[in-house]
Structures are given as structure tokens and as C-alpha cells.
Amino acid sequence: MKSDYIQTTTCQERRKDPIEMFHSGQLVKICAPMVRYSKLSFRTLVRKYDCDLCYTPMIVAADFVRSAKARDSEFTTNQGDCPLIVQFAANDARLLSDAARIVCPYANGIDINCGCPQRWALAEGYGACLINKPELVRDMVKQVRNQVENPRFSVSIKIRIHDDLTRTVDLCRKAEATGVSWITVHGRTVEERHQPVHYEAIKIIKESMSIPIVANGDIRSLKEAENVWHTTGTDGTTDYFNWSELVQLLLCHHLIH
């Protein structure tokens, strides 16, 4: 983490609390974690266009804890970068809790990536393979809860769905019982890439849970975000294309003019 970007005022003492936002009854517009995109300059820009909550790109917790170079490269922030969620790829409860303690003064919470379907992530025991390891997810959440003293620090997870949706509902209920703050659901299975998103599955998960559920998948505009919000009954929507396309349009406008 570069000290030039770290301010003395911690994020928990500033502005909006994500949990309060989810309970407001309004659509929470979230910029999903995006490889190479979601760094500080990008987050600063999308916040100017009504983005309520931003995520960092996915960071490998083990590298983040062990390497100062990785911390400097992967995480920079400033006083206006709030509310902020740091997403980690992890498969070890102790390393994840260590990473969470490092970012705790500068972020509102962490998110455990249990949805990435890329082969490298699955081979390392990260991402979507964790939806089949509920005990490991439970242990990671509990360890972070035990090690981070701030009770307002959120611990969320992002998942994909199973072919058998009852397994997904069971995973979410176990996560909720462990103390997860909210769950983001990408409405595709691990094997699916460009198939239609199963919004009905997200709706069923939402109806089965008490904690906030965020819908993810093929949301490319504010209108689509509102439609998915109403269709699924979720507490927020998050995706990649709407904010990145906005930035590309803004850059094109700047170059033309």
C-alpha cells in the first residue's frame, strides 16, 4: 500500500455504511471488481456518476500478506475512496484474516471471491471451487470476524450457483449463520459463460435469506439494473459492463473534444 494515498481518517469514520445502504429500500448501484479496471483512479471516476459502492480488483490474499511489493501494487486508496470493499482470493483462513487486518483501517469491508471460474483460480483453490467447500468458507469468515475488532467491518462473499439450487441455498444459509454481511450472486453455474443469467435462481436465494443479496450478471445499464432489482427483489445490483462502458464513453468524449 502506498503511504502517499493513505489518509489519517479511516474509512469506517466516513460517510455511508454499506449495510445501512442495503437496508434503505433503494437500489444500491455497485461497481463490481474488475481486473485492471477497478483501481483508485477508476473508482474515483465512477463515484462521480452515482456509483454507491466500489470494489477493488480481486487480490490474492497470500501474496498481499507476504509481499510489500504486492501491497504497494495492488491496493491504493485515499480519503474520498469510500465506501470501499476489498475483494480477496483466498483458501486459507489465517492468511485471509491477516489480509483483512491490514486493510481494515482503509476500507469498509472485505469480500471473499467464491465465484471466479477461471482455470488458474480453480487450480489454486480460489474462486468458484469454494462454493463446494462451505466449511472452508465458514472458517474464513469466522477467522476474519475474530481477528478484526471493528464490528462494522463487513465480510461478504460472491458466489455462482449450483446446478442443484438447493445446494446454493444451503451454502448461503450456512454463510449467513456464520456472520456474512451480504452475498453477491452471479446467476450462472461454474461451467456457464455466455448463457442467459438465471435471475429466477437469484430471486429464490433472496427469498430464502434474511441478509442482503446482490444480483450480478449481464447488467449493462442503469435501466437493466433497475429491471433486475425489481425482478429478483434483491438489495443491490453489481456488474462490470455499465461502469467500464461509461468510462470508455467519457474518454472518447474527452479525446474528441
DSSP designation for 76: -
pLDDT at site 2: 53
Of 184, 214, 215, 213, nearest to 199 by C-alpha is 215
Q: Residue 182 sits in a domain of what CATH number?
A: 3.20.20.70
171 grid coordinates: 451454502
Domain annotation covers residue 9: no
> Predicted confidence band at 255 (pLDDT cuts at 50, 70, 90)?
very low
The answer to whether the CB of 150 falls within 8 A of the CB of 125 is no
Percent of the chain with pLDDT over 90: 74
> Predicted confidence band at 7 (pLDDT cuts at 50, 70, 90)?
very low
Return the amino acid letter for 47: R
pLDDT at site 4: 42
Domain annotation covers residue 232: yes
Domain annotation covers residue 4: no
115 or 255, greater pLDDT: 115
Any bridge partners for residue 154, and if so which? 109
254 or 62, greater pLDDT: 62
How many Å apart are CA 28 and CA 47, to the nearest integer? 13
Domain annotation covers residue 6: no
Quote the distance between the C-alpha of residue 59 and its chain's center: 11
**Three-state helix/strand/coil letters over 179-225:** CCCCEEEECCCCCCCCCCCCHHHHHHHHHCCCCCEEEECCCCCHHHH
pLDDT above 70 for 122: yes
pLDDT above 80 for 78: yes
8 grid coordinates: 489519517
Residue pLDDT, tens place only, 198-234: 999 999 999 999 999 999 998 888 888 899 999 999 9
Domain annotation covers residue 5: no
Number of helices (H), then strands (E), in the chain: 11, 9
Q: Provide the number of structural domains found in the chain.
A: 1
Residue pLDDT, tens place only, 165-209: 999 999 999 999 999 999 999 999 999 989 999 999 999 999 999
Torsion of CA 224, 225, 226, 232, to 10 degrees: 100
**Catalytic positions:** 116
Domain annotation covers residue 1: no
Please report which residue ranges of 92-133 form alpha helices under DSSP H: 93-103, 119-123
Distances (CA, A) of 123 to 70, 128, 130: 21, 10, 11
Domain annotation covers residue 11: no
How many Å apart are CA 160 and CA 42, to the nearest integer? 26
pLDDT at site 242: 52
Compute the average pLDDT of residues 2-21.
Answer: 60
The answer to whether the CB of 63 falls within 8 A of the CB of 70 is yes
Strand 28-31 with 53-55, pairing: parallel
pTM, rounded to two decimals: 0.90
What radius of gyration, in Å, describes the C-alpha atoms of the chain? 17
pLDDT at site 151: 92
Domain annotation covers residue 57: yes
Of 25, 41, 43, nearest to 33 by C-alpha is 43
47 grid coordinates: 463515484
Structural domain containing residue 58? 18-254
